[in-house]
Structure 1
Amino acid sequence: MTSLLSRFGATSLTARVALGVTFLLTFGGIIVSIAAFAYGREAARSAYDRLLVGAANDIASAITVVDGNPVLELPHSAFELLALAPDDRIGYRIVGPNGQTLTGYDDIALPAGLSGYSDVFFDGAFFGEAARYVVVSRRFAERTWSGTIRVAVGQTLQARNAMAVDITRKALYVLAASGLAMMLLAVLVVRAVFNPLKRIAGGLAERDPHDLTPLDTDVPRETAVMIQALNAFMGRLDRQMNSMRHLISDTAHQLRTPVAALRAQADLFSDEEDPERKDRIVERIQTRSASLGRLLDQMLSQALVIHRGDSVRREKIDLRDVVLDVFEEGDHAVLRPDIAVVPQLADQPVYVLADTTSLQEAVKNLLSNALKYGRAPVRIGATTENGVASIWVEDVGGGPDPEILSALGTRFNQSGLSRQNSSGLGLAIAHAVARSFEGQLVLDTHGDRTFRAALCFPEIKAEAA
């Protein structure tokens, strides 16, 4: 069964459409055949029933009363009508008022409870063969004789069945011809419909491997959905490749100076003979190594959040949980054990659509900046106001330098490595996370008293999430 499904999945769309049309025509053909046969039977019955009624009326009209007795001379016209079904056997019976057979076959049994003068049809047998009958009544009110005479005329069903089969056969001929035409038309239409896909495939095959610009969307509406999805995918891939190129470029740009400085200090250490100067050189090497390690951590963190912003599925997240996760990890206690960090959470859930890991990285960087360059008290919290959900870090301080804020969101804004100032890179990470999830990084400064860095996102309701 699995191999059959796999083979079917590898078939062409044209073959699938042809198979589907064949199935529909087969199923529809069965239904139409049944309907055609039923219609043929009804048409044949109606046609030959009229012949029976005409023959019976001819016979009934030929009955006369002579000397107080009904007399019948069978008319030739009645048998000429019935002769239109030459292969069928004919039977008739004329019944008097008391149920006695005046003439005809006694084996023809009339249905019980006949009353009135309307024509009555019934199915019966004629010497063991299925037959169809009609009963016609005629009322006599003569001076010498009165009563009702019933004339029953019937014939076997060979002509009826042959007519029903003929109607069905002709209907099937028309169905087969129209079905074949529909299949050919379906194949042609499918091939025409798939021409845009061939154009798209040709355009992709001719493209340079590094060309990730959007494809032309001047295609039919049904195909445009696929083109839009493909363009979105290529856009994400382009952003990923750009992020990789920028990461490599930024790494080379940022590490060139500190690595050269470390090499220079190492050369000085190897040539220095004064123990005190050697100790100072070792201290500078340790300081620069620690600064270089922090820079590498932040650059890898930035690459992580940029990658996850495009590749990780967004989920409903309560920002209060992010705050608690960052607080409970306790990195702040290792970085600055002398500064207390106070969590401040809203009473109700603060839901957003984002990625937990990316938000944690952003908040950790904001908290690290606050601990390094701000002043106590430091607060971290999640609140919502006017449909905007925020996760923020607040300290008592003036915030980053104006040149760092002006370069926010641009490349190579991680300046000041030699001065061991990486607040710009921490804000760049937070800015990248906010932008990845349709949010923004909001920096509020109030003189020299309070500075708040907040990631703001559109809030989603709990029932809509």
Structure 2
Amino acid sequence: MARMSIERRLLITTVCLFLVIGSVLVVMVRAYATRAADEAFDRVLTASVLAIADTVGIEEGAVAVDIPYSAFAILGTSRLNRVFYRVTGPDGALVSGAPTLGLDIPAPQDASLQIHDADYRGDPVRIASVQRYRVDTVTGTGGWIGVMVAETREARQELAAQLTFNGMLPAVAIALLSGGLILVSVRSAFSPLRLIESDLRARRPSDLSRIDREVPTEVSALVAALNEFMERLGSVLDGVKRVTADAAHQLRTPLAAIQAQAEVGLEEAQDPSARRRFSRIHHNARDASLLANLLLSDATTMHRLETQEREVVDLRDAIHAALRMLRAESAYARLIQSLDLVVEEEPVPVVAEPVVLKEMVRNLVENAFIHAPGPTDVDLSVKDGKAILRVMDRGPGIPDAAKGKIFQRFARVDARHPGTGLGLAIAKDVAVAFGGSISVADREGGGLIVQVVLPVTRGEGD
């Protein structure tokens, strides 16, 4: 399951909080809008029922009502509403209007105005009712005359929806603006961590220097802990490198002596069994000597990569220097004679550390000599601003399944064959440190091609 970032958690929490607040706000604004719409339309409704109530009377025992035009003209301002009315006499008999309107509403006991919500013919309506006491001028008898006026709620709902929309529009705009500001603030708050991440990713694998970037107080404790950890790790690695380099250096002389003694023993021994033992001693001493040399080369390479400044180096000079080193070793005297070297006529400048670059070339050629004792070709060319160094042999090659592992330290394709599994690993570290890459491919006709690509510089200032 993918882990969720703190930034995303904060944003999701903020969105959820906005949704909760927005939902509560919608409910409150809707309730306020409905109440405001009811108050506005109730004023018109009460004015209409009072206008009708003022015209009712009793004449010669009969209820008379003269409904004024203005009573319904006021309610008719909205085309959405439908209006109903009902007038009843003192005995409750219908005088005029809708006979079933407001039958479920209790009749008022006095002259006070009452407003109710009800249903009429399946539609929700708002009803205003009032009673007026009238006396017959002829007979002198009197009674309460009831007046009801109702209207449907379409116009009220439309006004409530409009008020809700107008009320929520600024709130939504403020929420969007606040959300944008919160998003910018969260990203800005985490930007120091991104800068630290990019700084660490851009470093060379061996760079354990302190993080000197200015960071906020909240992040300073993390940076201080990282710096302290890298200092401790650097001290441990330095100690390991020193021990490795010292051990390798101290082992080279006795291993060379053992190898020489084994060679003498091979020449002098007559017994086949003794010759096999001397041969095995010689083989193991040679492998141990090679491992010691590579360990010393690895320690030297890593140390110089960390401490020495880069400079513009002619890659051709590094190749020639590496071949001179191999030519001085008796084990490769015959193989170096069969090496075919093809380089550019013009200088091939690259930004590198001279000694480390020479060690990389030496390891590549030595790796070819060890695994493919036969004709070896070294080719240097320039293409598209890249220096391409290829070391090609006619050895057994490497299976496709093992090509992805050969750049790992101490990785060997076949333990029965000589080698340490360090040469290509060191070469890869150097190539990557100088901004380049390394790869292997099968050679046509058999063998292996190891290719190093380095960027070519145009001058000292590049």
- Which TM-score tier does this pair reach, normalised by the shorter chain? 0.3 to 0.5
- TM-score, with structure 2 as normaliser: 0.44
